[in-house]
Amino acid sequence: MKELNQKLAIVQTKLKTKKTSYNAFGKYYFRKAEDILEAVKPFLLEQGVSVTINEEIIATDPVPTLQSTATISDGENQITATAVVGVDLNQKGMQTAQQFGAASSYGKKYALGNLFLIDDTQDSDATNDHGNGVVSKLKEKAKPVITTDQMNKAKEYVTAGGSVEAIKKKYKLKPAFYQELLKIKEINGQKAKAKDTKKVKK
């Protein structure tokens, strides 16, 4: 399991995803689940892993609720991340199939974002509510409380050079967990600084 955690940390720190879609109404570019999957593909054979997404309806009242699960596996072990999204049946200009499709797309993207620590908080797609506040509510629902296992992965991610803020924006962190990650980041920074100083002296 530790080997898979390390492979995931490598993907998390190196993954770059482009925003290939354009919203003419809001006049902004945004990324979709397909963009993330396309960016992940080069890592699959390189790291010997596979990535899948599954979704299921976990509630129907008061609104249909979808749970998307993104999974990375090395054939023996697997690590998952989930996102929960409600279907907005009152979305104007959309048929029911489109409403479910929109929720499904959001859920898949957020599940992949949670798995690979992709920060979409600055995307207009994530912040533009078009006056109805739906996106903000869906993102808040999709933000999971970090578990002990995920915290261990977060430590590896930060140790490998990852961003503490990226983790904070994807998970609900206890203050103690947040301070622990900041401490790891600080120690890594001090080690890097000391290493650079040593090189200069040489």
pLDDT in tens, 30-74: 788 999 999 999 999 999 999 999 999 988 877 889 999 999 999
16 Cβ contact list (under 8 Å, min separation 6):
39
* Contact in structure between 172 and 146 (CB atoms under 8 Å): yes
55 or 202, higher pLDDT: 55
Output DSSP code: residue 198. H
Task: Give CA–CA dist 1/79, Å, rounded.
Answer: 9
Helix (H, G, I), strand (E, B) or coil at 162: coil
Residue range 70-92: mean pLDDT, rounded: 90
82 Cβ contact list (under 8 Å, min separation 6):
67, 68, 69, 70, 111, 114, 144
**Banded model confidence at residue 129, pLDDT cuts 50, 70, 90:** very low
Flag whether pLDDT at 133 surpasses 60.
no
Q: What is the DSSP string of 107-142?
A: HHHHHHHHHHT---TTSHHHH--TTS-HHHHHHHHH
Helix (H, G, I), strand (E, B) or coil at 29: strand
Task: Give CA–CA dist 40/174, Å, rounded.
Answer: 30
Residue 130: C-alpha distances to residues 31, 91, 108, 109, 126 (Å): 18, 11, 21, 20, 11
